[in-house]
Structures are given as C-alpha cells and as structure tokens.
Amino acid sequence: MTDVLHPTIRPRRLRGTPALRRMVAETRIHPAELVLPMFIREGASEPVPIASMPGVVQHSLDSFKAALHEAAEAGIGGVNLFGVPLEHDAIGSGATDPEGILNVATRIAREEVGDALVVQTDLCLDEFTDHGHCGVLAVDGSVDNDKTLVRYQEMAVAQATAGAELVAPSGMMDGQVAAIRSALDANGFENVGILAYSAKYASAFYGPFREAVDSQLKGDRRTYQQDPANRREGLREATLDLAEGADIVMVKPALSYLDVLSEVAAVSDVPVWAYQVSGEYAMLEAAAANGWIDRERAILETLTGIRRAGADAVLTYWAVEVAKELLPR
C-alpha cells in the first residue's frame, strides 16, 4: 500500500542547493544573448538623463564611445542604435543624411567596437519626422505605406554604408523586409542582415521611449502597429517577414506578448528575438525604487521568462549591468 505521507517521487530533490538548482536549470542567460539599445543625441556635450528611464541617457558622442567600450568589455552581443536629431522634417531627411546623427554614430560604433559587438541600427523614420510617424504622410494625413518603403530603402543603404551589420526595420509597413532586401542587394550589401520587427504591437509600454527619442508624434500608430488583442496576426506578420527574407524576426514588447513570442519561435527557421521595452524597464525600476520588489531578482526573472518563451536574444536596457554584475560566474 502506498504511504501517501511519504512520497517516493520528490521533485524538490533537485531544488535543495544553489549548486543543484544551477546545474538543472532549463533556461540560461548568456551575455552574448543580450543587446543594448542606445540613444545618441545630436549636439549634446554630455549625457542627458532620461527622466522616465532612470539610469538610461541620451549619449553625447564622447559618452557614446565610452559606453560602447564598456558594453564590449561586458561581453554582450551587440548594440542597437537610435539617433536623436536636432531638426525634423516631413520626410525625415536626417535619416538618410550621411552626416545625420544615426549614421555618424554607426560609423563610430564600427570603428570603436566593430570587432567585438554587432552594430545594429533602427530603420524607422519616427525619430526624424516632424509629425513623429514611422513613414511618409499622404495628403489626408495617413501614413503612405508604399512611399514609405522608398524611404526605407534609402535609409537601409545609408545605414549599411555607415557600417551597420544589421538594419532593424521597426515601422511595421507592409512589404518592408522585401523592399529593404532588394535595395541592399542592389547596392552591394548582400551581407548586411535584416532584423525585422515582425510582431510589433501598438503598446502603452512605449511611453518612456517617446521621451528618449524626443518624439514629435501627433496622433497614434494603430493603423500600422498591431492591435494588442490579436495573437494570430502576430504569427502572420512574422511568417510574411520570413518569406520576404528576414534574417532575424522580433516580437515587441516582450512581457505582454510571451504567447506570441512562443508561437513565432515554434515556426521560425531563423533566430527569434524580443525587445524588453522602455515601459517594462521603467515599471521595474519604479517598483524597486519604492521597495516593492527585489530589483535584481526581478530583472533576471523577466529576462529568464523571455528566454524561456523562445527568445534567442533580448534587447534590454539592463544588458551591460546583467552581463557585468547579475549573472553567476
């Protein structure tokens, strides 16, 4: 007769010590799987703190160089660059100007740490337009998908010329991956990869990012970013990007869309990444500052959850801290 008060199957046996828990852990985080988003502000003489993202700054070119070397020494996988220009216009001219802040920063990154880090560039017009949308506007004020694709092609070539190894279209225009791939190949950049923001949702968690890039947005982006209610649509978008030649597909945000991330990972034959966005960062930092959560444990728990759901790499503002201080040695 089975003694129910003395079970023979005891899962707790494998949880008894830190060493044993570490040995049987199913999901691990490695510094090479972390990518640091970075903001570079045109004309800045020193780093400019971002109030809604404690510990994150808009870099001057000098502080940017120092931060690049710190990231390389920490052993993270790469950096994802965003430019913060002084001037904006209707078509985002600064995005394709060789002397525009993002292209200048890209050249610096390749020169300073190009052998140690993957240099990725945000391929979107929202930081550069005076209306804050991710594309060119039609007469009626809507975003003109196909005219925007032309600007994305020009932007991709400019970024590749500056030294980007991965261009990261984040605008959610239909056909953007195919258009960019065509332009890169036609201009001799066959080896530049495309990190496609494939399932990017119209999320409330982008709020602090608006401050980080000095967003000029008027209205919202719900006609091109995905409805948070839709799961199958995220998988459809990723499948389309795969068919168009994406080298990596990404889900954004991460924590509210782990189901989408898991489903994309189940079908993708290329790496799948996720972006732990500004609002996710800000929430944890605010809760920790109030003493409501254990900050370091929460950071690692969220990253582990994103990896467990299927992400091969994670864009996170904690990338360097995690790699230097929080991961077990």
Q: What is the set of active-site residues? A: 200, 252
Nearest to 274 by CA among 228, 310, 325: 310
Nearest-angstrom CA–CA distance, 74 and 116: 10
Full 3-state SS string of 110-171: HHHHCCCCEEEEEECCCCCECCCCCCCECCCCCECHHHHHHHHHHHHHHHHHHCCCEEEECC
Residue with tokens 């077990």: 328
Nearest-angstrom CA–CA distance, 173 and 198: 10
Question: Which residues does 195 contact at the CB level (< 8 Å), separation at least 6?
Answer: 120, 166, 167, 168, 169, 246, 247, 248, 250, 273
